[in-house]
A and B are shown apart, each in its own frame.
Chain A
Amino acid sequence: SQQGEEDPQALSIQEGENATMNCSYKTSINNLQWYRQNSGRGLVHLILIRSNEREKHSGRLRVTLDTSKKSSSLLITASRAADTASYFCATDATGNTDKLIFGTGTRLQVFP
Chain B
Amino acid sequence: DAGVIQSPRHEVTEMGQEVTLRCKPISGHNSLFWYRQTMMRGLELLIYFNNNVPIDDSGMPEDRFSAKMPNASFSTLKIQPSEPRDSAVYFCASSPGTLNTGELFFGEGSRLTVL
Give the contact stretch, choosing among B14-22, B60-68, B76-84, B98-106. Answer: B98-106
CA distance A2 to B42 in the complex (A): 8
Q: Are A100 and B33 in contact (CB under 8 A)?
A: yes
Secondary structure at the B interface, as helix, strand, loop or mixed, is strand
B-side interface residues toward A, CB under 8 Å?
4, 31, 33, 35, 42-43, 45, 48, 50, 55-56, 91, 93, 98-100, 102-109
Q: Are B43 and A88 in contact (CB under 8 A)?
A: yes
B99: which of A2, A35, A43, A99 is its contact (CB, 8 Å)?
A99
CA distance A88 to B104 in the complex (A): 13
The size class of the interface chain A forms with chain B is 20 to 34
CA distance A92 to B104 in the complex (A): 12
Q: Are A43 and B104 in contact (CB under 8 A)?
A: yes
A30: which of B48, B56, B100 is its contact (CB, 8 Å)?
B100
Q: Are B100 and A102 in contact (CB under 8 A)?
A: no
If the complex has contacts A100-B45, A102-B42, A104-B42, are A45 and B105 also in contact, measured as CB distance less than 8 A?
A: yes
Residues in chain A near residue B105, CB distance under 8 A: 45
CA distance A90 to B93 in the complex (A): 14
